[in-house]
Structure 1
Amino acid sequence: MSRDRALLQRALDRGEEDGGSVEFKERLTREVHLSEGRRESLAAQLRHRVLSGDGEATYVVGVTDDGGLAGIAPEAFSESMDVLSLLAEEADAHIEDVETWGVDGTLDGTGTRAATDSAAPTDDNGLVGVATIRDGAVLETDDEHVVIGTAGHVDHGKSTLVGSLVTGRADDGEGGTRAFLDVKPHEVERGLSADLSYAVYGFDDEGPVRVRNPNRKQDRAAVVEAADRLVSFVDTVGHEPWLRTTIRGLVGQKLDYGLLVVAADDGPTRVTREHLGVLLATELPTIVAITKADAVSDERVAEVEREVERLLRDVEKSPLSVARAGVDAAVEEIGERVVPIVRTSAVTMDGMATLDELFDRLPKTSTEDGDFRMYVDRSYAVTGVGAVASGTIKSGEVEAGDELLVGPMADGRFREVEVRSIEMHYHRVDQARSGRIVGIALKGIKESALERGMVLLPADADPEPVREFEAEVMVLNHPTRIGEGYEPVVHLETIGEAAAFYPDDGRLLPGDTGRTRVRFKFRPYLVEPGQKFVFREGRSKGVGTVTDVSPIE
């Protein structure tokens, strides 16, 4: 919700005119405004407003014909936005943005009710909103969309590297470009990422399409609209206490590639090795970027590159220096065995053109056919829209208006919901498919009922949530032995839940590979054979693959 009422006041001051681009509506309903004959008339009116505004119209909802602040209930406002979206689609236009304000029910000096910054209207007030309508249909997403997850030790320059890539701007040497990713005040103040961040840029026939200001959602949306090929980054957390969040970013997203950063002034650390282990456990094709090459001598950069090469060989991977072998070789050979290495500096921009070329040419790896599926990574409530579930689509595709199931709830049941709208990096889209990072507005559920680890499925699916499953696991690190009842946190898709292990032979030792029964401690989830997971408890870590499931009774 906007805290600046200037947008609303400007629209009210301009008012409705026969040849103008502003339209006042108190409320729009499906029954009345989408009825036969009325729908076509209103779509024609909307088209007229858009053309009068040189491709942009402003609809003020929740006001009377003379611009008085009526205010409508949140549910009525949501329905009005649904109807307005359908009218815009018929007029070959789309809703680009919606801003809302509370109406407090009191009278101002002119005898009309006043708009407030209230984010939670009560029974005595309601909402008024301004919808910006743009010419042109909602973006179709038929282009390739590569998703890359970053990893690496804290202060090794992950966020700075991504910030410089998506903007094309050199860093100031103080990590200035990282501010384009970290949005929480304590992250900016401390200079440490504490949660997953997202960024996007793209490519067209002329080269990179960068974001002018990643902190402005309109600029991110412009890249999505203009680029023929998109590259999204899931920027994870390097600080060791937030390893759980890093694992969530690497395991819970539908990634195409991993980007492991190693600072030239520090070299590989224990955290570097742990993050590399997670990347390899998920079988993710990986690139290593040696960062901060400007901060040390060429000899030191070469030394760190040799350390990285030894580290890769220790885990049976073949390092490939892109500086020596070239981008063609890196694109052709990256995969299960080969890990390209690129020297970079966000300050001098050395190596950035190489990364651009790689990201422009690397093929998408994670596309999956089949029915739609998306595990919920985040949820939030948008005033006037309702509950929004965000995550990366695992398979299939989804369209606005689709009927879906979401769950499981704590009791194992699924709820029926409807897709109100879909956004990808702040750009509204008609549909989205496997590999897209999206926010899906849902009708039929409150945001408080959504939890990370839930899954969205087609309405005709017949999901069987489980409390237990069988798995083949490998213990990467543990001080003693894993016995019956051992309780690590299991990270599977976006699920992060304590679970008890019951090994077939009664125990598992460090380095062992074996079978175990795994039981979630608190609630059921949707788990299927073939899914990979990471488990951890303190410095104990391991990886596994689901082999069989036991649906709850």
Structure 2
Amino acid sequence: MIVGTAGHIDHGKTALVRALTGVDADRLKEEKARGITIELGFAYTDLGAGGVTGFVDVPGHERLIHTMLAGAGGIDFALIVVAADDGVMPQTREHLAILDLLGIARGAVALTKADLADKDRRAAVTADIHQTLAGTALADAPVLPVSTVTGEGLGALGACLAAAERGIALRSDDGPLRLPVDRAFTLTGAGTIVTGTVLAGRVSIGDEVLLSPTGLPARVRSIHAQNRVVEYGRAGERCALGLAGERIGRAAISRGDMVIAPALHAPTDRIDAELRLLASEPRPLADSAPVHLHTGSVGISARVVPLGAPIEPGAAGPVQLVLARPIAAAVPDRFVLRDASATRTIGGGRFLDLRGPQRRRRTPERLAHLAAAKTPDPREALTRLLAAPPHFVILPDFIRDRALPEAEATRAAAGTERIGQVVLAPATLAALRQSLTERLAGFHETNPELQGLGRERLRLALEPRLPGGIFPAFLRQEAEAGRLVLEGAFVRLPEHVARLSAVDEALWQDIAPELGGDARFRPPRVRDFATETGTPEGEVRRVLKLCARAGRVDEIAHDHFFLRTTTAEMVRLAAEAAEETADGWFVAARFRDRMQNGRKVAIQILDFFDRHGVTLRKGDLRRINPRRIDLFDPAESVAVITPA
């Protein structure tokens, strides 16, 4: 169990920790000289519950609240310290507000310096404490009089803490590692050390980890957990990790960094969240209000953008947090906000979405998405997200941003339909398929002579609108099931066959043989066909353009048409030319030589590939775009290339 002290300056937090553990948590010379805690202090003891209890002694001075916040994020039990002679003070109230915003519901109040108060004074301060705690998650916390001078109440407090430790279930360590760094230093012979409370997962000696948001890789060379040398540390324990790596050093690490499993590294600087504004605030939160954000051990400047109605004091609502720099975080981490001058706590809440959009962030659809994301249970949250716009979730991002263990991720996704990396509700996928069939059927009815509907045009016409990177996987899935046919860049229903009129088909039959064979890489042009068949150029051009729309030919250059099968063959030749180079970039001459064609025609063909994204160009060099290499591939289709 990790116990965090909280309370006003000089109310005896450090002395109480020393009395309970025998350890002086003030570790800086300045702290000892001034008699106050400036930095986080740590102490450990066995209270008799069968484990090692860790104490985080945090500063109480108003100017040092940011340090208190760095230690508050990982505690299991709050030990609130109120001096009997002073009573509840401003920093007591602010610490309590912070603990409440962080969702810490287990705790006790130590009424310190009890030797300085008589029975009536103790009763009055106790009543004030209960009134202050009312309405918070710690409303039922016991109040225990103690004195570090006489020893009064220390046994009862220790027993209270031991009972609390026995009642706290061990945190699951199945998930990926997350450890926010609250201290970083160098020890002679040990190297670079970072300390923090493991929020999730476990860490073992020899593990490869990342420091986020910097992305620095490191290897764990030593571990102290709960002040003992161990082979591994787990969720809920305070750990000191000895790190090694090429760029790992004290100057490269700071409070606010997070030691994580590499798969979690995805820093963010724009987070949508649910914010509760404290009732003590004098006015509603202004748009783009400057604040200081605290989460885990991070303290960073930010701006708050309310996404709905203005948030009144004592109320809650959705906001977007625009950070001064990226941080490592997870959903649903808690956060606390202080005002622009960092003199008072103004509110806090939970993160809902680590990838908040910059545009269209206040639409009803976006607000419905955030309302669905508020559910802390991953399975229920995913179900609600799939029922809200845009009705799909990119599953790897959902798993990563919530730092889910594998078993929890599997449970959350159970019962969903999958398209590549995207999951949808079964009803949504059924509606998408119906919309697809209706759109294609309507297009075929009004355009019987055309091969099919273009992929991108079809994607934009369907609801829900799948991302461009996911839509091809959906089409392939539907094609494999026999519900549609893919023909290069076009999509059609299986029963649809593009047909020309009898006259146009007859002209095509005269032209088609001249486009194939040995001359397929240098076929005649429109004027040549017009002369050979005695047909006006305009008619030849019109029929060939109809054939191009039907997927039989491609107009590589003006009035220069190639069979679709030839286009696909030329794509393969370009790919072979790329494979012959070390880096995949090739010049036009290499492609021309493979075709045994003239340079002018080769350039026209490559320009055609550039326009369609099959090749990517950089000066005189080109390379194949792997995402578009199958654009003209007849292997994906059953297109009619020669007349039926």
TM-score, scaled to structure 2: 0.52
The answer to which structure, 1 or 2, has the higher relative contact order (CA under 8 A, 6+ apart) is 1
Structure having the larger proportion of residues in helix? 2
Q: Which residue of 1 aligns with 2:383?
A: none
Q: Please tell me the residue identity of whatever aligns with 1:291.
A: T
Change (3 A) 1:419 1:551: farther
SS in structure 2 of the partner of residue 507 of structure 1 = coil
Q: Which residue of 2 aligns with 1:295?
A: 116
Q: Which residue of 2 aligns with 1:306?
A: 127
Aligned counterpart for 1:467 among listed residues 266, 269, 273: 269
| CA deviation profile, 1:20-39 (whole Å, cap 9, x unmatched) | xxxxxxxxxxxxxxxxxxxx
Distance 1:435 1:282 in 2: 16
Structure with higher Rg: it is 2
SS in structure 2 of the partner of residue 389 of structure 1 = strand
Percent identity reads 32
TM-score, scaled to structure 1: 0.60
Distance 1:470 1:181 in 2: 37
Distance 2:308 2:102 in 1: 26
| Unaligned stretches of 5+ residues in structure 2 | 359-644
SS in structure 1 of the partner of residue 141 of structure 2 = strand
Q: CA deviation at 1:506?
A: 6.4
Q: CA deviation at 1:368?
A: 3.2
Check conservation: 1:148, 1:257, Cα contact below 8 A: yes
Aligned counterpart for 2:288 among listed residues 473, 485, 510: 485
Distance 1:422 1:528 in 2: 24
Check conservation: 2:40, 2:71, Cα contact below 8 A: yes
Matches within 5 A, 1:95-494: 146-167=1-22, 180-204=24-48, 228-251=50-73, 254-284=74-104, 285-313=106-134, 315=135, 338-362=140-164, 363-365=167-169, 367-369=171-173, 370-409=175-214, 414-424=215-225, 426-444=227-245, 445-459=248-262, 461-476=263-278, 477-494=280-297
Change (3 A) 1:366 1:283: farther
Structure having the larger proportion of residues in strand? 1
Q: Which residue of 1 aligns with 2:509?
A: none
| CA deviation profile, 1:118-165 (whole Å, cap 9, x unmatched) | xxxxxxxxxxxxxxxxxxxxxxxxxxxx11000001111111111111
Alignment size in residue pairs? 348
Runs of 4+ in 1 over 4 A off after TM superposition: none
Q: Please tell me the residue identity of whatever aligns with 1:248.
A: A
Check conservation: 1:466, 1:551, Cα contact below 8 A: no
Distance 1:360 1:149 in 2: 14
SS in structure 2 of the partner of residue 272 of structure 1 = helix
Change (3 A) 1:241 1:462: closer
Q: CA deviation at 1:352?
A: 0.7
Aligned counterpart for 1:532 among listed residues 309, 323, 334: 334
Change (3 A) 1:406 1:259: same
Q: Please tell me the residue identity of whatever aligns with 1:299.
A: D
Change (3 A) 1:344 1:528: same
Check conservation: 2:133, 2:139, Cα contact below 8 A: no
Distance 1:361 1:426 in 2: 21
Q: CA deviation at 1:415?
A: 2.3
Distance 1:552 1:535 in 2: 21
Q: Please tell me the residue identity of whatever aligns with 1:155.
A: D
| CA deviation profile, 1:352-407 (whole Å, cap 9, x unmatched) | 11111122222235613312221111111223332211111111211111111222
SS in structure 1 of the partner of residue 355 of structure 2 = strand
Distance 2:269 2:305 in 1: 14
Q: CA deviation at 1:552?
A: 10
Check conservation: 2:98, 2:336, Cα contact below 8 A: yes
Q: CA deviation at 1:551?
A: 7.6
Distance 1:407 1:551 in 2: 19
Q: CA deviation at 1:507?
A: 3.5
Change (3 A) 1:462 1:513: closer
Check conservation: 1:464, 1:551, Cα contact below 8 A: no
| CA deviation profile, 1:79-98 (whole Å, cap 9, x unmatched) | xxxxxxxxxxxxxxxxxxxx
Out of 499-508 and 232-241, give the one that drifted further: 499-508
Q: CA deviation at 1:426?
A: 4.9
Matched, 1:514 2:320: no
SS in structure 2 of the partner of residue 245 of structure 1 = helix
Change (3 A) 1:540 1:157: closer
Distance 1:541 1:488 in 2: 9
Check conservation: 2:277, 2:346, Cα contact below 8 A: yes
SS in structure 2 of the partner of residue 229 of structure 1 = coil
Change (3 A) 1:539 1:415: closer
Change (3 A) 1:551 1:305: closer
| CA deviation profile, 1:155-214 (whole Å, cap 9, x unmatched) | 1111111111112xxxxxxxxx8xx1212111111111111101111045xx8xxxxxxx
Distance 1:434 1:426 in 2: 15
Q: CA deviation at 1:490?
A: 0.5
Check conservation: 1:229, 1:360, Cα contact below 8 A: no
Distance 1:463 1:457 in 2: 7
State the Cα RMSD in Å.
Answer: 2.1
Q: CA deviation at 1:428?
A: 1.9
